[in-house]
């Protein structure tokens, strides 16, 4: 899958040159306000960056999170919530890190950071956030079918639409019309975004997570989660693509579609090696998503 060089192809003053390292193919533009968008909480960024190291020292990880007491308190609060469902209550962050491990702490830290990143947003931000959170919950649920860690799937899924959130946060006036319209399919949404701001949310998200120095898997997921399912996709990308489509089918779309595939139609997933009977029922999955989404909105 080719990556894109970020460069100026338009003379408008709201577009800026921004060329991340190691991108060497197609040219696209990145709007200047997106270039200036502050990253997620720096602690969450460090946690994500550390996650690329399989031998990460959990005590060092705890020290990094504890460097921001308010953030550490939010992490501990969410780790104890029904969203993550740990059976016993944890009162000390270092204990939580030791018990939950890197992947779960990463999932909690990113969730806390995303909630802060989106604070004060209007109805469209809430709608996109609900889609991202629903996708994360679904990804965690179906990840064992693909032999993927639930926490890893959750973290990747909750970040998959960061480009759409970033564009809306940077350009609310320009992005409100395309995000409020009704579409035939996701491809039409991408076309409308490019017409409004010269870049779609997949490319914008890939640029953001690369600029924020997240692991490379986030770049692939942001850029390609709307691509058709393909047998050569990584297992993680298959999970995110399918979870995004399932979130839409269950009524948790980021934008309005005239029609969407039914949950039953998504189950065969012939492009993957999953079996329909391995997936949860539509009713149980929707109920699980609704219950856990309520935790975000308390």
Is residue 154 within 8 Å of residue 108, measured between CB atoms? no
Q: Looking at the domain assignment, is residue 126 inside a domain?
A: yes
Q: Write out the residue range of the structural domain in which residue 220 sits.
A: 120-296
For 260: left if phi > 0, alpha if psi spans -120 to 50, otherwise beta; the answer is: beta
Q: Looking at the domain assignment, is residue 129 inside a domain?
A: yes
Q: Looking at the domain assignment, is residue 45 inside a domain?
A: no
How much of the chain exceeds pLDDT 70, in percent?
Answer: 86
pLDDT tens per residue, range 132-160: 999 999 999 999 999 999 989 999 999 99
Our count of domains for the chain comes to 1
Strand 4-6 with 30-31, pairing: unpaired
Is residue 113 within 8 Å of residue 40, measured between CB atoms? yes
Helix (H, G, I), strand (E, B) or coil at 265: helix
Q: Looking at the domain assignment, is residue 19 inside a domain?
A: no
CB neighbourhood size of 177 (10 A): 11
pLDDT tens per residue, range 208-246: 988 888 888 999 999 999 999 887 889 999 999 999 999
pLDDT tens per residue, range 96-105: 888 888 888 8
Supply the Cα-derived Rg of the chain in whole angstroms. Answer: 19
Q: Does 190 score more than 50 pLDDT? A: yes
CATH number for the domain spanning 292: value is 1.10.3210.10
Q: Looking at the domain assignment, is residue 111 inside a domain?
A: no
Q: Which of 99, 92, 39 is nearest to 65 (CA)?
A: 92
């Amino acid at each position: 899958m080719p990556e894109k060089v970020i460069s100026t192809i338009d003379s408008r003053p709201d577009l800026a040159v921004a060329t991340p390292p190691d991108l060497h193919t197609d040219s696209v533009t990145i709007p200047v306000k997106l270039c200036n968008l502050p990253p997620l909480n720096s602690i969450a960024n460090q946690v994500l960056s550390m996650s690329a190291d399989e031998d990460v020292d959990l005590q060092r990880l705890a020290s990094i999170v504890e460097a921001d007491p308010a953030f550490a308190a939010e992490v501990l609060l969410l780790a104890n919530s029904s969203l993550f469902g740990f059976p016993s209550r944890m009162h000390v962050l270092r204990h939580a890190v030791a018990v939950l491990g890197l992947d779960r702490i990463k999932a909690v830290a990113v969730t806390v950071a995303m909630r802060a990143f989106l604070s004060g947003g209007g109805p469209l931000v809430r709608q996109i956030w609900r889609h991202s959170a629903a996708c994360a919950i679904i990804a965690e649920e179906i990840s064992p079918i693909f032999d993927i860690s639930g926490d890893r799937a959750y973290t990747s899924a909750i970040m998959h639409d960061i480009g759409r959130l970033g564009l809306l946060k940077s350009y609310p006036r320009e992005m409100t019309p395309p995000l409020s319209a009704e579409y035939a399919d996701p491809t039409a949404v991408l076309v409308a975004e490019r017409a409004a701001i010269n870049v779609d949310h997949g490319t914008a998200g890939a640029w953001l997570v690369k600029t924020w120095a997240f692991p490379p898997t986030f770049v692939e997921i942001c850029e390609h989660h709307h691509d058709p399912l393909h047998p050569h996709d990584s297992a993680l990308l298959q999970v995110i693509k399918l979870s995004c489509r399932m979130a839409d089918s269950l009524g948790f779309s980021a934008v309005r579609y005239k029609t969407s595939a039914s949950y039953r139609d998504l189950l065969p997933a012939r492009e993957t090696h999953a079996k329909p009977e391995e997936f949860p029922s539509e009713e149980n999955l929707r109920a699980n998503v609704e219950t856990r989404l309520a935790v975000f909105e308390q």
